[in-house]
């Protein structure tokens, strides 16, 4: 998209910054992650390469981080899930991971659905670049890169620290993330994503089914997060039939009814309904 440049804004609750930690406190920002809808409400998604050289338990997630503040508190990551192909050879088309925190972050900040099998299209990309205290955003036009294995867009303003950023369509679904080829891009103006295919769906299913107990129960900081939570202020509750959807399951994507509905209802549900009308 010629002339495109990301601009700084106040952020959204379900996309956040990832930090390294020391003694349980955040230190250096290094990547971006987003909350995905799941069974236990504690699952994030990011690029797998962000785990290189660090353990999952050293990562802290700050959803909605803006102006140097964490308005929805800090959430400690406890477990990471990567595809077997990534574990074997770090293949660039398998550069995605799921992270589990120790409590229901989804209930606090909302989440994105995952959409697999989607073609490149116009999308909204939110990222946390290194050196900024707030995220940036842009609407970009994605295209195929290297056959049907990868997606790419051109837009200035996406340097280091933006790996794992969601590519959002329909307002509530991620169909890509910054990662893969060149770990998401060698320059701030060209960005890549692995194609969300069955491998993403399979890893999501495995991570979503997995339940784990945090050793010793919830951490003290997580008790504080729960006690401080008084409801999703300003966040519209999503109406979801499934947290992960394949585009082939939505034959009504062009349904005019979905675009003209007066009721305030999530687009994914509207698409589901009109595709069966």
pLDDT(1) > 50: no
Average pLDDT, the chain: 76
Which tens digit of pLDDT belongs to each residue from 21-56?
999 999 999 999 999 999 999 999 999 999 999 999
Grade residue 257 by pLDDT with cuts at 50, 70 and 90: very low
Highest-confidence segment of 54-58, 128-132, 189-193: 54-58
Going by pLDDT thresholds of 50, 70 and 90, the confidence category of residue 181 is very low
pLDDT of 180 higher than 60: no
Q: What CA dihedral angle connects 231, 172, 218 and 223, to 10 degrees?
A: -20
Q: Report the share of the chain in percent with pLDDT over 70.
A: 69
Q: What is the pLDDT of residue 228?
A: 28
The whole-number average pLDDT for the span 257-269 is: 28
| pTM for this model (two decimals) | 0.76
pLDDT band at 144, cuts 50/70/90?
confident
pLDDT for 222 beyond 80:
no
Residue 247 pLDDT: 58
Find the range with the poorest average confidence among 60-74, 105-119, 189-203, 236-250: 236-250
Region 138-161 average pLDDT: 78
The whole-number average pLDDT for the span 258-270 is 28
Average pLDDT rounded to a whole number, residues 60-75? 95
7-224 maps to CATH 3.20.20.80: no
Instruction: Return the higher-pLDDT residue of 132 and 88.
Output: 88
The domain ranges of the chain are 7-224, 244-275
């Amino acid at each position: 998209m010629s002339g495109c440049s990301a601009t700084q804004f106040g952020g959204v609750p379900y996309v956040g910054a990832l930090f390294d930690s020391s003694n349980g406190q955040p230190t250096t920002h290094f990547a971006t992650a987003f909350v995905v809808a799941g069974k236990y409400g504690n699952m994030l998604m990011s690029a797998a390469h962000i785990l290189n050289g660090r353990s999952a338990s050293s990562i802290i997630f700050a959803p909605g981080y803006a102006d140097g503040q964490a308005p929805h508190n800090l959430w400690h990551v406890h477990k990471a899930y990567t595809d077997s192909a990534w574990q074997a050879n770090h293949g660039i088309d398998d550069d995605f991971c799921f992270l589990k925190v120790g409590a229901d972050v989804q209930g606090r900040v909302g989440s994105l659905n995952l959409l697999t099998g989607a073609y490149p299209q116009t999308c909204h990309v939110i990222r946390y670049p290194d050196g900024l205290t707030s995220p940036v955003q842009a609407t970009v036009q994605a295209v195929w890169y290297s056959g049907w294995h990868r997606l790419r867009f051109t837009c200035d303003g996406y340097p280091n620290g933006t790996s794992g950023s969601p590519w959002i369509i329909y307002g509530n679904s991620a169909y890509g993330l910054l990662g893969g080829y060149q770990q998401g891009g060698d320059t701030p103006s060209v960005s890549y994503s692995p194609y969300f295919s069955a491998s993403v769906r399979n890893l999501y299913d495995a991570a979503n089914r997995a339940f784990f107990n945090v050793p010793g129960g919830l951490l003290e900081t997580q008790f504080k997060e729960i006690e401080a939570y008084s409801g999703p202020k300003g966040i519209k509750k999503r109406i979801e039939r499934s947290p992960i959807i394949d585009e082939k399951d939505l034959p009504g994507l062009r349904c005019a009814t979905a675009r003209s509905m007066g009721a305030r209802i999530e687009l994914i549900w509207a698409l589901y309904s009109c595709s069966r009308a």
